[in-house]
Amino acid sequence: MTIATSPRSPWDQEYEKTPDSYVWGTAPSALASELLAALPARARVLDLGCGEGRDSVFFATHGLDVTGLDPSHAGLRKAERLAAERGVHVRWIESALPALPSLGDFDLVYSCGSIHYVARADRPTLFRRLREMTSPGGRHAHIVFTDRCIYEERGEVVVYFESGELARFFAPREILRREDRLIPCAQDGRPHEHSVEVLVASLGVGL
């Protein structure tokens, strides 16, 4: 595991409290499963905010070259364990966005619930950097919390995306899919919903 200096993750304490179980489970997200068919063999994947590793490990079990980045040491320890149990290798990096070490180019830049922790003023620089790290014809896929439905959970500090904000980081012709929806959640013990934007884009020629 590569370690960089990073502030404490808002979910780090939850991961520490559950060393023998996975807060988010071990099954891949629906978006990760959907993306797999569009990726070439041995595609390089960057999973931003990989948490306990469920999507990173999923991609790796299908033969992809995966790098998972997260600020939570406890989360990455669990991610390492999951990868070992599944018999796959993932490069784990402990670092908080918007900081990004030099990692080369990726065929898929992916995030599921992590970029909404990045300050709005830092997002243009982050997305420029992510573009530089994307192979020609590579894809981006992101899920972010939006301000249509706000629910404060476990004291975390979320900088909610405004309507259409995520799409502005891509040219209209690049966007393959964009969807606003509500997702159910009960991580704090109370059933509630979060509003999210899902966006998939192809930067240049399709994969």
pLDDT over threshold 90, residue 124: yes
Structural domain includes residue 74? yes
CA distance 119 to 76: 23
Q: At 80, is the pLDDT very low, low, confident or very high (cuts 50, 70, 90)?
A: very high
Query: The domain containing residue 95 runs over which residues?
Result: 2-202
Q: What is the pLDDT of residue 5?
A: 42
Structural domain includes residue 90? yes
Average pLDDT, the chain: 89
Domain count within the chain: 1
Give the pairing type, strands 44-48 and 65-70.
Answer: parallel
CATH of the domain at 183: 3.40.50.150
pLDDT over threshold 90, residue 11: no
What average pLDDT score do residues 71-75 get? 93
Structural domain includes residue 207? no
What average pLDDT score do residues 32-37 get? 95
What average pLDDT score do residues 61-82 get? 96
pTM, two decimal places? 0.90
CA dihedral angle for residue 54, residue 57, residue 58, residue 59, rounded to 10 degrees: 130
